Structure 1
Amino acid sequence: MEAPPLDRKLIAILAADVEGYSRLMHQDEEGTLATLSSHRAIIDEIIAAGRGGISGTAGDSVLAEFASIVDAVNSAISIQRSLAVANKSLPQQARMLWRIGINVGDVMVKDGGIFGDGVNVACRLEAQAEPGGICVTRGVRDHLRDRVDYQFEDLGEHAVKNIARPVRIFRVCFDPEASSDLLDVRATPSRGSIELSDDSNAIKGTSNQVELTFWQSIQETKDPSEYEAYLERFPDGEFVALARARLAKAEEPEAVPAADRAVELEFWNSIKQSNSPAAFEAYLQKYPEGEFKSLAAIRLREISETD
């Protein structure tokens, strides 16, 4: 039987990604995840306000689709302006900058996700953008040329990975300090906390401020029960992976000090060739969880069977 044809549609595709995410995680895992959570809340709110929809997320990246190219670019500019405000409350080394690429193209749709060259080009454009910047294709620029107030800088044609023809890329020129058209963001002094507001009401910037507060209260603890309580309360939370890692580490047996291990090794070396069951019984009594407990038990059995 022939496979049914895939659904297709023509859309504007927005791809966003964090610049230097691995470096930020290396510096401060918990702080970076908290910032990512608050930034994602801002991005998600703006995409929804701009009549777009999120098609996929993977770690520090976002893929969104819009029926309107104007909405896609306006949303991208609002995202960068809002995140610039959010970053002001963070130390310089902890600030999270995003790059955004926008393309317009025909894409395939399967299981709610979008695929094809149109998506790939948007992702390649994102990699070409400056941190905090936006790059678009010629098709996007041509469509918007007389519909928006901002300008476009021609960056020329670029060969992009897995795309047969060069892509003409334009940088969107906008004032990052201007207020966001879609969302007003007010940075607050508390770490990872961004207050979002629109004309109707105020919305907390973290997708779950209660969860973030809970995590910040336990992130330095060595008590396994604290991490178990977090996992029970937030089974799909932002910090599940870290909580599980911390829990596993907390439950690991404490490492034997080097000096004690040396004494155990000396003890074992002194009896390992012995045929006396008392020697191995003494080892097991002194080191019930010792490194050689299995070997000691085997030697005891061998000696008893010989006798």
Structure 2
Amino acid sequence: MEIGARARPERTGSRCMDELDSAPDLLFESFRLDRRVGVLYRLGQADQSAPVVLGPRAIGLLGLLAARQGEVVSKDAIIKAVWPGRVVEEANLNVQVSRLRQILDQDRAQGSCIQTIPGRGYCFVAPVTRLGPDAQSASPSITELGTQLQQRLSIVVLPFDNLSGDPGQQYLADGITEDLTTNLSRFTDLLVISRNTAFTYRDKPPDTRQIGRELGVRYVLKGSVRRSAKRVRVNAQLIEAEADAHLWAERFDCALLDLFMLEDAVAAAIAGAIEPELLKSERDRIARRPPQTEDAYEFHQRGLWHFYRYTKEDSVEAQTLFRRAIAVDRQYTQPTVQLAITHCNAAYLGWADNVTFNYIEAYELAQHAVSLDARYPPAHFALGLVCMWTHRSDAAMASFQEAINLNPSYSAAHVLLGQMHLYRGHPEEAIALAEKGIRLSPKDPRLFIWLPALAGAHYQRGHYAQAVEAGRRSWMLNRNWPAGLRYVIAGLAQLGRVEEAKAALEELKLLNESLAFVEGNLRRLYKDQAAVDHILDGLRAAGFD
């Protein structure tokens, strides 16, 4: 895969985070914070303990406050340590503090472990015991840890091998490894093992099963870097640790122009490509086994399995499962996001009994998801999607852009931002953004949804053959998704291939019974009504009425 380069974000705050990573384990109240793997344990009787599900930001915040027990830590200092190099609103910090309080203060009689000091910051007031490396561990053994943590979607990026034949080129492989770890950490669904822990496996035999057990991760990403003259080749492999099974592999070739830009470009491309593979593998794994617990995570994953089947019946089942996940944990952002998207999809695909109600509920859910976690890119994506379908085009573009700002590898956001440019009468920009999104994740299971963006942009430019090709690829990938087929029919008719268009129309009518339904959807999206008439003219020429 040939890739381009992008501007490198400024790297700051790494020294502070390294200091946090080296802090000892911390014991307080009925909890132990294990800094080695970034996990909080709730301690029980008979030395039993169970991991608490917390994101990396919450773990970093807790580690900082608990390590400085009794001190007031300013909000600026917290943000610099927990969100290094990023501009973060204070509301994001408030969300993380609230989440920690919900967990830490459940059985606490007097006040919160984390006290707000007005005008100054936060102070951790519970007594803290610092455990050195020789202390008796209250945590499970490494094997037990692996068994427990593997209930979550988790990954480690092993140090990439330097195959250049020059030890002096190791810095290039290390830079790509670090950038990949950072990029994957932006996917809130993933627990990503820290760079410091991952680098302890340098120059060791890559026994993925053992690494999975020791770190409690389900997936391992490894690879190599080879530099030759002015070219660099990067190979990457995604492996399911327990089965030692390869899920994905790709080779990236690029020109050696600017090392920082090169590292970022490769890391972004790999992160964008493996994320859908990880999520698909996780959905399939959950779906293969019988239901085990009334667990929000499991309900969410089972819902995703139905969601991605893209049928009306599976949409209904997905909505039920997402609601059950939310009922178990009302602060769980992911099923809230997915329920919003599922409601929106059902409305514009004609699967909803009350389209207006679906759009209203989808909008409220998406707004709530953003309020739960303003740093979660899919929450902004969901809000953008609903706004796109409810005549809020400015808000849609802003939401998709915010999703990209939070995660530059967010392929779907690039594509839908391109669609917004199409609906505003700028097909050239639409093509560029759609192609970029597809390039970030060329084997994505959602590719059939993205290709109609290309088809529509080519159609509006009068490139009917390209529109037919992109639309046909979408239709061949998923025959329950009619958007691409519409451009196939209209494009063929515009090319004078009316009989082919009529044959394709028979398939479209199985999903979209009338032209009025298609017209209603198009007029929800396009600002330029002449563009809608252009599409309808092609469909009418094929005999659709």
* TM-score (normalizing by structure 1): 0.27
Whichever structure has more helix as a proportion of its residues is 2
Greater RCO structure (CA 8 Å; 6+ sep): 1
Q: Which has the larger radius of gyration?
A: 1
